């Protein structure tokens, strides 16, 4: 298959994956809403003009032109003001912010028919409202777990394993450009211990070895000490003794992998790992996804600075941060590049490319989960935050012996929601431009 075709396939897989993830997110809202008796008038994937739709029962299902999200439309999202008739805009609401809230409140009652007042969203108990709003992000979280399990546990990915691929014959001085041993270079500890290519390290210094990263840490921490090394060689166990030497090595940045300029003394054995398909144990998948959630949350918390960095890269000479935010165009480019990249392990091209794309879709669902949990309207987290505030408010009123204050009027936050929406539009435009003129590449 040609590289161009692989690019196109990768982009199509990403596009379909994003659309399906969004559609299932909205199903996560739709099913509990219908289960709890709320009238849902629309289920839409996308925004803007409707490309096509079909009505089934009381709900219109369709796809819109701008594939940047989706929504379900439930009647009675916001409670009326005390004493007001549902759906009426107060004549006294002349302030700009108050009028926004009143219009949003009235619009949420436009489709409430006679005798349907009991089917409005705001009348549900708090727990059911939270279940509806959390249903969408929860689906994305489940998708992230399932896709990560498929990519990391079922298929696996190329990784370093503690099987020796080569053994250094000497210890070269730090910073040297030499590639061959000189007469004055001391022998490497691994070669002196009798390690050979093809040996699989089973234990080191009395610790069972489960992966190359763990073995590397054990070697670095064992400088100057004599340790026992157990390897598997040609189907049998061989016990060896090694003494890693202390060497000065550059300290690398954990995030970028680039040298920091500092040096440290670490143990050196002189062996290199092999590359093989590594499968993550299924029990470790939740921890992997949790780490991804924390990483995306960190990006969200630092989003203003991250967007400044994107703008400096797009309109200046700054380099684009590969770990920063990207837009839909950037996601497509990365998917195409991932699919077109040659396989690391020959003969396993299809599985490796599938694992890459499935991992990408898992990461996208993690991002959808985190962004939708932001406790601001129009995100799902904004409605959840409003419902939780209602619980707290009612508890405080009960403690003070005051009457039930009723539902929290989330409509009052609509001016903020419009402001957040404008910021999202601006962010999407910036990322679109940056993804075109200064795209993120995998290197």
| DSSP H stretches of helix in 327-413 | 328-340, 349-372, 380-399
Q: Which of 326, 362, 327, 360 is nearest to 341 (CA)?
A: 360
The Cα 16–Cα 24 span in angstroms is: 12
Q: Where are the beta strands (DSSP E) in 7-135?
A: 40-56, 59-74
- Kindly calculate the radius of gyration of the chain based on its CA atoms and give it in whole angstroms: 29
In degrees rounded to 5, what are phi and psi of residue 248?
-90, 125
* Helix/strand/coil percentages in the chain, nearest 5: 50, 20, 30
Q: What are the strands, taking DSSP E only, across 323-377?
A: none
**HEC profile for 105-133?**
HHHCCCCCCCCCHHHCHHHCCHHHHHHHH
Q: How many residues does the chain have?
A: 443
For residue 220, give the nearest of 242, 244, 195, 196 by alpha carbon: 244
CB atoms within 10 A of CB 57: 8
Q: Is 60 a catalytic residue?
A: no
Distance CA 230, CA 234 (A): 13
- Give the residue among 61, 73, 77, 78 at the shortest CA–CA distance from 23: 61
Rounded distance between C-alpha atoms, residue 146 and residue 372, angstroms: 19
C-beta neighbour count of 80 within 10 angstroms: 21
CA distance 222 to 189: 12
Chain centroid to CA 375: how far? 18
Q: Reduce the DSSP state of residue 79 to 3 states and report it.
A: coil
Q: Round to whole Å and give the CA distance between 188 and 171.
A: 5
> Which one from 3, 26, 180, 284 is the annotated catalytic residue?
26
Q: How far is CA 267 from the centre of its chain?
A: 35
Q: At what angle do helices 328-340 and 3-35 cross, to 10 degrees?
A: 130
- For 78, 133, 424, the CA distances from 383, given in Å and listed in that order, are 10, 7, 18
Reduced 3-state DSSP string for 217-245: HHHHCCCCCCEEEEEEECCEEEEEEECCE
The catalytic site residues sit at 26
């Amino acid at each position: 298959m040609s590289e161009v075709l692989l690019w196109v396939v990768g982009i199509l897989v990403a596009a379909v994956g994003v659309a399906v993830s969004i559609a299932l997110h909205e199903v996560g809202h739709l099913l509990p809403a219908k289960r709890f008796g709320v009238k849902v008038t629309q289920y839409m994937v996308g925004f803007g003009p409707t490309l096509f739709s079909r009505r089934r029962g009381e709900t219109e299902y369709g796809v819109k032109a701008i594939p940047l999200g989706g929504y379900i439309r439930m009647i009675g999202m916001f409670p009326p003001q005390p004493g007001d008739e549902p759906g009426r805009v107060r004549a006294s609401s002349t302030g700009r912010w108050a009028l926004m809230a009143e219009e949003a409140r009235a619009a949420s009652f436009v489709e409430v028919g006679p005798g349907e007042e009991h089917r409005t969203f705001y009348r549900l108990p708090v727990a059911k409202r939270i279940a509806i709003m959390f249903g969408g992000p929860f689906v994305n979280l489940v998708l992230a777990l399932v896709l990560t399990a498929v990519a990391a546990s079922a298929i696996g990915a190329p990784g370093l394993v503690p099987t020796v691929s080569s053994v250094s014959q000497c210890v070269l001085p730090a910073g040297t450009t030499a590639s061959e041993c000189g007469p004055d270079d001391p022998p490497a500890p691994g070669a002196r211990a009798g390690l050979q290519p093809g040996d699989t390290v089973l234990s080191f210094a009395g610790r069972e070895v489960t992966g190359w990263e763990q073995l590397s840490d054990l070697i670095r921490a064992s400088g100057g000490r004599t340790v026992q090394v157990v390897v598997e060689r040609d189907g049998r166990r061989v016990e060896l003794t090694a003494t890693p030497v202390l060497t000065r090595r550059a300290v690398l940045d954990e995030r970028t992998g680039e040298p920091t300029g500092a040096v440290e003394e670490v143990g050196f054995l002189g062996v290199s790992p092999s590359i093989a398909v590594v499968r993550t144990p299924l029990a470790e998948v939740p921890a992997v996804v949790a780490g991804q959630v924390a990483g995306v949350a960190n990006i969200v918390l630092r989003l203003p600075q991250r967007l400044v960095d994107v703008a400096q890269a797009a309109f200046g000479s700054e380099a684009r941060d590969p770990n920063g935010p990207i837009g839909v165009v950037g996601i497509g480019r990365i998917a195409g590049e991932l699919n077109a990249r040659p396989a690391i392990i020959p003969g396993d091209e299809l599985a490796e490319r599938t694992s890459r794309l499935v991992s990408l879709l898992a990461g996208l669902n993690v991002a959808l989960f985190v962004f939708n949990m932001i406790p601001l309207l129009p995100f799902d987290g904004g409605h959840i935050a409003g419902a939780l505030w209602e619980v707290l408010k009612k508890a405080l009123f009960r403690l003070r012996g005051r009457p039930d204050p009723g539902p929290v009027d989330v409509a009052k936050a609509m001016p903020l929601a419009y402001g957040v929406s404008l910021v999202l539009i601006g962010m999407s435009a910036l990322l679109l431009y940056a993804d075109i003129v200064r795209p993120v590449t995998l290197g």
